[in-house]
Amino acid sequence: MSVAQQPPMGWRERLLQQFGTQVANPRGPLGAVIGKTVFTRGNAPFNQWVMQQLDLQPNSRVLEVGCGPGVTLQALAARVPEGHVVGVDRSPVMVAQARRRGRALLRAGHLEVLEGSTEALPFADASFDLVVAIHVLYFWPDAIATLTKLRRVLRTGGKVAIGFVCKDAAPKVTQSAFDVTGARLAVSPEAVADLLQSAGYTHIGVSSNGHGGYCALGQQG
């Protein structure tokens, strides 16, 4: 029995695949450009809005997973002058950009930036008061399992903040690129709230920025 072969990708599909792959895990010169444009300038308004949804204390310990070029790490550090901020990203290109951007904070011991996977966090249980994840939910193969691992590193009463957009609000090029690469945009805010509940979080709430963006909060314990 013969196996039907997939037709070769056209130039548009190849470009979309390259864009989607780079957004998920920036690499090389193109990844560096995406970090300085899409992640730094393009995401700035939404990231700032998510920051406004966070209840931070001056001494909070905060982890950002998928920290990208470190823009949000800077904002978090400013909000917790007596605390500590850690960023984790699987892309060496993004880790390098975040370390350059935060070099003064790194020298002061106020910030750490680590290369690593959200699925295998190198931290003890109950290490943080808050875990932030903006625009990374789409790339988790098993969102419930990953959210459960994030809950492990939260102290009792600590919170996770998930910033995301739903598929119907995402730019068409983003939708197409994610379709080609297999990434999954959120279906609805209710679906993300259900993921948090399935991962064991309590006191779940979702805020909307009125433009298709959301911040879902869940509490440990």
Dump pLDDT digits (tens) for 111-136. 999 999 988 899 999 999 999 999 99
Residue 7 structure tokens: 């037709």
CA 129 – CA 154 distance, rounded (Å): 6
For 199-211, write each residue's pLDDT tens digit. 999 999 999 999 8
Measured CA to CA, the distance from residue 86 to residue 116 in angstroms comes to: 12
Superfamily of domain 22-219, CATH level 4: Vaccinia Virus protein VP39 (3.40.50.150)
Under the banding of pLDDT at 50, 70 and 90, the label for residue 39 is low
| 96 Cβ contact partners less than 8 Å away, ≥ 6 residues apart | none
For the chain, list the strands marked E by DSSP.
61-65, 84-89, 111-115, 128-134, 154-165, 202-208, 213-219
- The two three-digit tokens of residue 179, written as one number: 């379709």
Q: Which of 21-25, 62-66, 150-154, 213-217 has the lowest mean pLDDT?
A: 21-25
State the first-to-last Cα distance of the chain, in angstroms, to the nearest integer.
55
User: What CA–CA distance (Å, rounded) separates 87 from 92?
Assistant: 12
Model pTM score: 0.84
In three-state form (DSSP H/G/I as H, E/B as E, the rest C), the secondary structure along 12-37 is HHHHHHHHHHHHHCCCHHHHHHHHHH
pLDDT band at 167 (very low <50, low <70, confident <90, very high): confident
> Is the predicted pLDDT of residue 155 greater than 70, yes or no?
yes
Angle of CA points 97, 20, 23, to nearest 5°:
15
pLDDT at 5: 55
pLDDT at 1 over 50: no
Q: Look over the chain and give the mean of its residue pLDDT values, rounded to a whole number.
A: 86
